[in-house]
C-alpha cells in the first residue's frame, strides 16, 4: 500500500510542532526553577574579576576617608570659630570709614612690604607720608594731597590689638550697576571675648570723631539711592555769618531746643521733625548759614538733589528713610524741583553773580539730563509724603532754600513740613559794617583789651605787617596806604586798632545804599582789597557806580531782549493771523465756488427735467387730441 508524498510531509510537520511545543514548555519551567541559581551565578561571575573587586574596595575606602575628612574639617571649623571672631565691613557703611581711618593710623604699616598708597582721607585727617620738599610753598601749590598707607586688596595682614592676634583682609568685587565696585573689609581676632570687638569699634569711632572735631561731613546720593560720603569741610564759625540782629540766635536756639526735645515730642505724639525754609535774594547767606549751623550743632549734611536724574517718588522716600536720626537734610533751590530749569530769573541784585570772590553763588538743581538715564520723575505729592508721610524719617532737621518764595505750593510750606520761615534780604548798613570789621579784623572778639587808661591797644588784624597810625580816618595822610604796596595782593595788612577799623567800617556802610547789594557782592568787592582797607573804602563809591551802570546795561539788554522776543512773538502772531485769514478767505472762496457750481448744476438739471416733462405732456396732449378728432 502506498501513501501520497504530501500526506507524509504533513504528518512529519505535526509531530515536529508537538515536540517543539513540549520542549519549550519544559524549558520555561526549568528556567523558573533555576532563576535563583542563575542570579547567584551572575554575582559569582561578577566577583570573579579581580579588577572589579579592587575598584569596589577603592570606592568604599574613599567614601570612608572623605566622610572622615569632612567631619574633621567641620570640627576644625567649629573649633576655629569658637576661638576666632570675624567682622565684615562694607564700604557703603560709615563703619568702614572708621576702620580704614583706624588702620591707617596704626604705626605697623611702615614695616609692611605690600601696601596701598592712597590720597583718600575717608573724611578725616589721616596720618600722612611726608615727602621731601612738601613743606615749601612750591610743593604746596603743586600738590597738597596727603599720601597715606592702606591695606592692599586681596592681601591678608597680621596685627596685634591689645595682646590679641588679628588678621585683616580687603576684597573687591564689581557689580553690574554702572561698573560699581563693592569693597569689603574683614577683620578676624583670635579671642573668645565678644566685648573686644566692641572695644575696637569704640576706639575706631572715637578716633574718627576726634579727627572730625573741627569739620562737618557732606553726603550725597548716588544712582543706586545710597548715601555716599563726598567731603569733609572745616566748621565755620557762627561769627562769620553776618545777618540782621537776632536771626542767627533765633535759628540756632530753635534747632538746639528741637534736638533736646525728643521725649517732649514723644509724650505729646508729635512727629519728631523740624523744617526750616530759608528764602530770599541769591547771595544773601542761606547756604552759608546752614554750613555754619551744621558745625555748631555737630551734625552732618545730607544733600537731597530733587532734580537728580532717575529720581522718582519711591527713590526719594528711600533716601529720606535712610537718613540718620541726627543730621541736616538740605534741599537747595526747592522752587526749581519740578521745573528742572538750568537757569532762573534772578532778583535785581544778581549783579554779584559775576563778581570775583562770590563765594555763595546760587546753585541750580536743574542739572542737564545724564545720557542714558531718565530725568527726574518726582511729583509734589511724592515730596510731601517723603517729608511728613507715615514712613518719613524722624529726628532729622530739614533745611530748604529758595529764591522764589511765591512759586512754592502752600501745601509744601505749611507747618509740619516747613515750621520756620526766614527771609534773607539784601545787605543792610548794619551787615555792611559788621562784614567790613570782621573782614579786616576777624579776631576782634579775642584781641580787644582795655589798657590802664581805658583805651584800646592796637591789634593785629590777623595778617600782620607794619604799624599804622592810631587815627582811624582814611583821609589822614599818616594812616593812608602810601607806605603799603597796594599792588601786591598778599596777606599782609597794616596793624590797626579796633577804633580805626570800626571807623572805616562805618564809612564803608554809609556809602552803601540800603538793601541794594547782596552780602556775596560786598564780600566779592572786599576780596579785591583783602589787604588794603583804606583803598577799599576809597574806591567803594566808584564800585557802586560801576555796578549800577553794569546793572543798568544788563537790565537794558534784558529789556531789549524781552522787547525783541515780544516783537518776534507779535510778528509771528501777526503772520499766523494773516495766514489764517488768507486760508479762511481761500476756503470761503472755494466754498462759494462750490456752492455756485452746485447751484448751476441744480438749475441745469431742473431745466432739463422741466423741458422733458413739458415735452412728454405735449406729446400726451397731442395724442389725446388725435383720438378725439374723428378720422
Quick: pLDDT tens for 497-550. Answer: 888 899 999 999 999 999 999 999 999 999 999 889 999 999 999 999 999 999
Instruction: Give kind and range of the element (H or E) at residue 85.
Output: strand 84-90
Q: What confidence category does residue 481 fall into, taking pLDDT thresholds of 50, 70 and 90?
A: very low
3-state secondary structure of 592: helix
Domain ranges of the chain: 5-81, 82-211, 215-425, 430-538
pLDDT (tens digit per residue) in 212-252:
778 888 999 888 788 888 888 888 888 889 999 999 999 99
Report which DSSP code applies to 480: S
Mean pLDDT for the stretch of residues 328-336: 90
The whole model's pTM is what? Answer: 0.65
CATH of region 215-425 = 3.40.50.300
pLDDT at residue 419 greater than cutoff 90: yes
Alpha helices in 48-184 (DSSP H): 50-83, 94-104, 137-142
Mean pLDDT, the chain, as a whole number?
77
Task: Dump pLDDT digits (tens) for 159-210.
Answer: 888 888 999 998 888 765 666 678 899 999 988 888 899 999 999 999 888 8
> What mean pLDDT comes out for the span 99-104?
86
pLDDT at 358: 38
For the chain, the C-alpha Rg in angstroms (whole number) is 47
Q: What angle do CA 91, 97, 100 make, to 5 degrees?
A: 100
Tell me what pLDDT residue 468 has.
36
- The least confident of 140-154, 380-394, 416-430, 522-536 is 140-154
pLDDT in the model for residue 547: 93
Give the residue-averaged pLDDT of 479-497: 50
pLDDT surpasses 90 at 258: yes
Q: Are 407 and 335 in contact (CB under 8 A)?
A: yes
pLDDT tens sequence across 115-145: 777 777 665 555 555 555 555 545 444 445 5
Q: What is the DSSP letter of 174?
A: E
Residue 308 phi, psi dihedral angles, 5° rounding: -65, 140
What pLDDT shows up at residue 261?
Answer: 94
- pLDDT value at residue 9: 47
Q: Report the share of the chain in percent with pLDDT over 70.
A: 72
Better pLDDT: 418 or 192: 418
List the one residue out of 182, 159, 164 whose CA is nearest residue 85.
Answer: 164
pLDDT score recorded for residue 353: 36
Other CB atoms within a 10 A radius of the CB of residue 212 amount to 18
Least confident of 45-59, 97-111, 331-345, 489-503: 331-345
Q: What percentage of the chain reaches a pLDDT higher than 90?
A: 28
pLDDT tens-digit series, residues 348-365: 343 333 333 333 433 433
Residues 6+ apart with CB under 8 A from 60: none
Minimum mean pLDDT range among 131-140, 154-163, 260-269, 588-597: 131-140
Q: pLDDT tens, 28-79? A: 454 455 545 666 776 666 666 677 777 888 888 888 999 998 988 888 888 7
Residue 232 has what pLDDT? 82
pLDDT tier at 7, thresholds 50, 70, 90: low
Please give the torsion angle defined by the CA atoms of residues 374, 379, 384 and 385, in that order, rounded to the nearest 10 degrees.
-70
Q: What are phi and psi of 153, to 5 degrees?
A: -75, 145
Q: What pLDDT is stored for residue 57 in this prediction?
A: 80
pLDDT of res. 482: 38
pLDDT at 259 over 80: yes
How far apart CA 323 and CA 94 sit, in angstroms, is 12
**Contact at 8 Å (CB) between 291 and 218?**
no
* 209 Cα distance to chain centroid: 24
Pairing status of strand 164-174 against strand 181-190:
antiparallel
Q: Are the beta carbons of 258 and 274 closer than 8 angstroms?
A: yes
pLDDT score of 267: 93
pLDDT band at 278 (very low <50, low <70, confident <90, very high): very high
Which residues, other chains included, contact 380 with Cβ-Cβ below 8 Å and sequence gap of 6+? 338, 409, 411, 412
Burial class from Cβ neighbours inside 10 Å (0-12, 13-18, 19+) for residue 326 reads middle
User: Is the confidence at residue 26, as pLDDT, over 80?
Assistant: no
CA 408 – CA 279 distance, rounded (Å):
11
Rounded to the nearest 5°, which phi and psi values hold at 148? -145, 155
Q: Given phi > 0 = left and psi -120 to 50 = alpha, else beta, which region is 197?
A: alpha
Amino acid at each position: 500500500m502506498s501513501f501520497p508524498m504530501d500526506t507524509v510531509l504533513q504528518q512529519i510537520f505535526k509531530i515536529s510542532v508537538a515536540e517543539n511545543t513540549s520542549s519549550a514548555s519544559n524549558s520555561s519551567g526549568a528556567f523558573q526553577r533555576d532563576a535563583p541559581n542563575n542570579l547567584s551565578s551572575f554575582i559569582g561571575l561578577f566577583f570573579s574579576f579581580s579588577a572589579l573587586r579592587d575598584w569596589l574596595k577603592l570606592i568604599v575606602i574613599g567614601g570612608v576617608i572623605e566622610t572622615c575628612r569632612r567631619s574633621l574639617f567641620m570640627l576644625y571649623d567649629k573649633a576655629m570659630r569658637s576661638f576666632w571672631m570675624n567682622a565684615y565691613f562694607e564700604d557703603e557703611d560709615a563703619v568702614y570709614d572708621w576702620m580704614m581711618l583706624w588702620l591707617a593710623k596704626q604705626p605697623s604699616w611702615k614695616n609692611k612690604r605690600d601696601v596701598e598708597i592712597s590720597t583718600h582721607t575717608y573724611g578725616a585727617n589721616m596720618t600722612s607720608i611726608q615727602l621731601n620738599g612738601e613743606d615749601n610753598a612750591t610743593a604746596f601749590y603743586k600738590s597738597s594731597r596727603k599720601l597715606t598707607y592702606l591695606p592692599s586688596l586681596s592681601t591678608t595682614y597680621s596685627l596685634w590689638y591689645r595682646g590679641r592676634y588679628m588678621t585683616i583682609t580687603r576684597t573687591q568685587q564689581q557689580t553690574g550697576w554702572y561698573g560699581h565696585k563693592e569693597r569689603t573689609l574683614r577683620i578676624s581676632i583670635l579671642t573668645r571675648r565678644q566685648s573686644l570687638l566692641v572695644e575696637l569699634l569704640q576706639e575706631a569711632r572715637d578716633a574718627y570723631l576726634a579727627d572730625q572735631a573741627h569739620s562737618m561731613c557732606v553726603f550725597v546720593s548716588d544712582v543706586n539711592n545710597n548715601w555716599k560720603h563726598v567731603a569733609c569741610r572745616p566748621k565755620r564759625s557762627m561769627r562769620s555769618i553776618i545777618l540782621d540782629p537776632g536771626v542767627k540766635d533765633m535759628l540756632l536756639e530753635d534747632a538746639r531746643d528741637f534736638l533736646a526735645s525728643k521725649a517732649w515730642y514723644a509724650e505729646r505724639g508729635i512727629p519728631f521733625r523740624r523744617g526750616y525754609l530759608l528764602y530770599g535774594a541769591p547771595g544773601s547767606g542761606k547756604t552759608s548759614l546752614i554750613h555754619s549751623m551744621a558745625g555748631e550743632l555737630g551734625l552732618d549734611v545730607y544733600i537731597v538733589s530733587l532734580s537728580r536724574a532717575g529720581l522718582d517718588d519711591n527713590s526719594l522716600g528711600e533716601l529720606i528713610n535712610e537718613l540718620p536720626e541726627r543730621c541736616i537734610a538740605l534741599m537747595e533751590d526747592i522752587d526749581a524741583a519740578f521745573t528742572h530749569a538750568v537757569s532762573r530769573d534772578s532778583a535785581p541784585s544778581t549783579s554779584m553773580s559775576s563778581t570775583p570772590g562770590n563765594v555763595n553763588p546760587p546753585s541750580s538743581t536743574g542739572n542737564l539730563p545724564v545720557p542714558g538715564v531718565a530725568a527726574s520723575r518726582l511729583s509734589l505729592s511724592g515730596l510731601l509724603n517723603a517729608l511728613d508721610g507715615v514712613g518719613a524719617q524722624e529726628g532729622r532737621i530739614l533745611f530748604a532754600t529758595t529764591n522764589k518764595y511765591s512759586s512754592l505750593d502752600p501745601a509744601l510750606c505749611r507747618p509740619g513740613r516747613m515750621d520756620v520761615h526766614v527771609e534773607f534780604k539784601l545787605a543792610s548798613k548794619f551787615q555792611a559794617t559788621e562784614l567790613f570789621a570782621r573782614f579786616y579784623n576777624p579776631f576782634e572778639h579775642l584781641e580787644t583789651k582795655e589798657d590802664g587808661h581805658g583805651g584800646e591797644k592796637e591789634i593785629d588784624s590777623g595778617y600782620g605787617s607794619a604799624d599804622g597810625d592810631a587815627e582811624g580816618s582814611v583821609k589822614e595822610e599818616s594812616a593812608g596806604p602810601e607806605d603799603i604796596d597796594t599792588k601786591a595782593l598778599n596777606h599782609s595788612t597794616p596793624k590797626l586798632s579796633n577804633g580805626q577799623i570800626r571807623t572805616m567800617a562805618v564809612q564803608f556802610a554809609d556809602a552803601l545804599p540800603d538793601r541794594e547789594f547782596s552780602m556775596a557782592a560786598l564780600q566779592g568787592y572786599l576780596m579785591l582789597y583783602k589787604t588794603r582797607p583804606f583803598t577799599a573804602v576809597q574806591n567803594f563809591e566808584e564800585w557802586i557806580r560801576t555796578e549800577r551802570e553794569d546793572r543798568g546795561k544788563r537790565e537794558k539788554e534784558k529789556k531789549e531782549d524781552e522787547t525783541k522776543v515780544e516783537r518776534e512773538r507779535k510778528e509771528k502772531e501777526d503772520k499766523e493771523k494773516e495766514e489764517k485769514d488768507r486760508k479762511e478767505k481761500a476756503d470761503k472762496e472755494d466754498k462759494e465756488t462750490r456752492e455756485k457750481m452746485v447751484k448751476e448744476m441744480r438749475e441745469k438739471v431742473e431745466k432739463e427735467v422741466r423741458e422733458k416733462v413739458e415735452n412728454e405732456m405735449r406729446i400726451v396732449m397731442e395724442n389725446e387730441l388725435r383720438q378725439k378728432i374723428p378720422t
